[in-house]
């Protein structure tokens, strides 16, 4: 097969996520960071992890950070440390990555799925309040796509009903609401450092942040086999192994130094999308009280199949987050039956995630928006014939 010569007039492919490019920018710092870990010789926990935990807690603006194995474990450990009992109910937005609901199941509790707001697809506080019953123990606020949920309303509701408020901040490193960062807004928060996240490791990683030092100590104990911090051979309760590696912590320290600048670059990418996308393909709304970090650039478009096909044909990556809401997932079908959640169900057929990274260039944005505009315009002309 002969490979066609590149056409200098045709824009190149746009990957949905270009992790190699992201890492190229910090390669010398990464090389120095893991050389330091190799020299230190501590690979699970140790000074590198402790330094990252301090720096991340400071960035979030809270007292404590505990590094753990991944974001799903972070959620589960928070729920366990809060004492969420088997049989309790935890209110969860249906529009989230399935891990949020899995963590609830993992502690033996029941996820109660609720609908989201049509303008930003974040959890609807009115739906949360309507779902609270005698067995409700906690609410999980998912800061999806890089935008903080309406934490002011959720805090009022959880206080009124005496419930714990847990943040799932896996997609919201650095995002703010009324000036305060995700991770410092609930009783405790869970972060994921999966490689594609705004703050990503080179493998799995996660963290719990909280202002409650007792809760942080309990999470650390549970994540380290229930070990007594003063006597490593004494196990106070049956915990598990979910700890952050020193190599991942070293990578995260490098990337944390650039997180604010990277998030600002993401905001500029999304602002440009907003200028150039056609009216028929609109970005999700931004809450004026917040400062999002655009983990994903999500649009809603009626002709999603045609738009996605056009993007693929133009060499542009795309995603759908998420095509099946949690309450429709077979894994959760045997929890208590959930009625229709119409906003999330309708959105699942329209949402499309466009390429959005700190390194996404103006040319790439134009390539994407031109491909979208062409197909939307073509279909408008066909429909009006």
Ligand X SMILES: Cc1ncc(COP(=O)(O)O)c(C=O)c1O
How far is residue 265 CA from its own chain's centroid? 18
Q: Does 353 interact with ligand X (rule: CB under 6 A)?
A: no
- What residues are paired with 139 via a beta bridge? 91, 165
CA-wise closest residue to 113 among 343, 349, 355 = 343
Site for ligand X in 201-260 (CB under 6 A): 204, 206
Using the rule CB under 6 A, which residue among 120, 168, 262, 287 binds ligand X?
A: 168
Please, what's the b/e burial string for 334-362 (b: 16 or more CB within 10 A of its CB; e: otherwise)?
A: ebeebeebebbbebbeebbbbbbbbebee
Q: Does 303 interact with ligand X (rule: CB under 6 A)?
A: no
Cα–Cα distance list, 98 to 72, 77, 150 (Å): 9, 16, 21
Q: Does 300 interact with ligand X (rule: CB under 6 A)?
A: no
Q: Does 139 interact with ligand X (rule: CB under 6 A)?
A: no
- CB of residue 191 vs ligand X: minimum separation in angstroms? 8
* Distance between CA atoms of residues 180 and 238, nearest Å: 35
Q: Does 104 interact with ligand X (rule: CB under 6 A)?
A: no
Among the candidate windows 166-174, 218-226, 233-241, 299-307, which touches ligand X by CB under 6 A? Answer: 166-174
Q: Does 172 interact with ligand X (rule: CB under 6 A)?
A: no
Instruction: Give the CB-nearest residue to ligand X.
Output: 71
Three-state DSSP at 112 gives strand
Using the rule CB under 6 A, which residue among 77, 82, 116, 142 binds ligand X?
A: 142
**What's the helix, strand, coil split of the chain in %, to 5?**
40, 20, 40
Q: Does 70 interact with ligand X (rule: CB under 6 A)?
A: yes
Q: Is the CB of 198 or the CB of 364 nearer to ligand X?
A: 198
* Distance between CA atoms of residues 300 and 296, nearest Å: 13
Q: Does 99 interact with ligand X (rule: CB under 6 A)?
A: yes
Using the rule CB under 6 A, which residue among 52, 97, 145, 177 binds ligand X?
A: 97
- CB of residue 305 vs ligand X: minimum separation in angstroms? 24
Q: Does 100 interact with ligand X (rule: CB under 6 A)?
A: yes
Are residues 88 and 136 in contact, defined by beta-carbon separation less than 8 angstroms?
yes
Q: Is the CB of 192 or the CB of 353 nearer to ligand X?
A: 192
Which positions touch ligand X (CB under 6 A)?
70-72, 96-97, 99-100, 142, 168, 170-171, 192, 194, 204, 206
């Amino acid at each position: 097969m002969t490979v066609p010569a590149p056409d200098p007039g045709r824009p190149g492919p746009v990957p949905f996520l270009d992790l190699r490019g992201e890492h190229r920018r910090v390669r010398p710092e990464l090389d120095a960071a893991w050389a330091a870990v190799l020299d230190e010789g501590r690979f699970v926990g140790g000074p590198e992890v402790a330094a990252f935990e301090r720096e991340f807690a400071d960035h979030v603006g809270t007292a404590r950070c505990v590094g753990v194995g991944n974001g799903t474990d972070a959620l589960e450990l928070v729920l366990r440390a809060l004492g969420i009992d088997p049989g309790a109910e935890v209110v969860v937005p249906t529009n989230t990555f399935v891990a949020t609901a899995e963590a609830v199941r993992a502690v033996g509790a029941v996820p109660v799925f609720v609908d989201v707001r049509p303008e930003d697809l974040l959890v609807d506080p009115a739906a949360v309040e309507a779902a609270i019953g005698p067995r409700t123990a906690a609410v999980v606020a998912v800061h999806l796509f890089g935008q903080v949920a309406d934490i002011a309303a959720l805090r009022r509701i959880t206080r009124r009903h005496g419930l714990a408020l847990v943040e799932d901040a896996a997609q919201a490193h650095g995002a703010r609401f009324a000036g305060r960062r995700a991770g410092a807004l609930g009783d405790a928060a869970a972060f994921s450092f999966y490689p594609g996240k705004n703050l990503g490791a080179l493998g799995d990683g996660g963290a719990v942040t909280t202002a409650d030092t007792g809760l942080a100590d309990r999470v650390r104990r549970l994540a380290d086999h229930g070990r007594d911090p003063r006597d490593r051979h004494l196990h106070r309760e049956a915990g598990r192994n979910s700890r952050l590696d020193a190599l991942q912590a070293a990578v995260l320290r490098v990337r944390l130094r650039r997180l604010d600048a990277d998030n600002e670059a993401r905001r500029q990418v999304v602002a440009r999308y907003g200028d150039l996308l056609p009216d028929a393909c609109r970005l999700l709304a931004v809450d004026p009280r917040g400062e999002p970090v655009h983990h994903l650039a999500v649009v809603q478009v009626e002709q999603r199949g045609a738009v996605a096909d056009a993007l693929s044909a133009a060499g542009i990556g795309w995603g759908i987050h998420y095509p099946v809401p949690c309450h429709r997932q077979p894994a959760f079908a045997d929890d208590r039956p959930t009625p229709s959640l119409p906003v999330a169900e309708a959105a699942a057929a329209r949402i499309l995630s466009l390429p959005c990274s700190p390194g996404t260039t103006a040319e790439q944005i134009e390539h994407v928006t031109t491909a979208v505009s062409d197909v939307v315009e073509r279909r408008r002309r066909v429909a009006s014939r």
